[in-house]
Amino acid sequence: MSFVKADVKVVDAQDSEVQQTMCQASGCPNRWIINDAKGKLCRWHHYSEPVDWPRITSELRMGKTPSKPEAKSQGGALSEERRKALADFKSFARGDRGLDRSWAYKLKAKEEAGERISIVQKQLWRDALRHRDDED
């Protein structure tokens, strides 16, 4: 009587169970965490285009964090106003004290000129300027 065959069957069963938990991208060493129309994929493959999957898989297999693909242009560069607003938001998120509140003054001027602004915008500019007066 040989125990080798029984051991081989157990190992094969364990391998098939492990394969069921792996990302479906060919050769990916990660387990899947997102199951949707694309299939059962790890986060790296799910949030990337299929044409980038071979590059991502090879980087994952080498133990590297996959680099992000070049961003596609969304209609040109950001306008200067949007770039400034983004910088203000990042500064606000970091908790910087010297935050430029020019946006709040612009919203206040719009409201005083009779333009329609949302309730949220009203509350935001009022809170921002109220905090500004508290700091001074």
CA distance 136 to 130: 10
Tokens 């209609």: give the residue.
75
CA distance 15 to 73: 43
Tokens 């391998």: give the residue.
15
Helices 119-135 and 102-112: crossing angle, nearest 10°?
130
At 113 the pLDDT is 94
At 73 the pLDDT is 47
- The candidate with the shortest Cα–Cα distance to 26, out of 58, 68, 49, is 58
At 112 the pLDDT is 92
CA distance 23 to 31: 5
Q: What is the distance between the terminal CA atoms of the chain, rounded to a whole angstrom?
A: 89
Split the chain (136 residues) into runs of 10 and give each run's mean pLDDT: 53 63 87 85 85 88 74 58 76 61 87 90 84 50
CA distance 11 to 13: 5
CA distance 104 to 128: 7
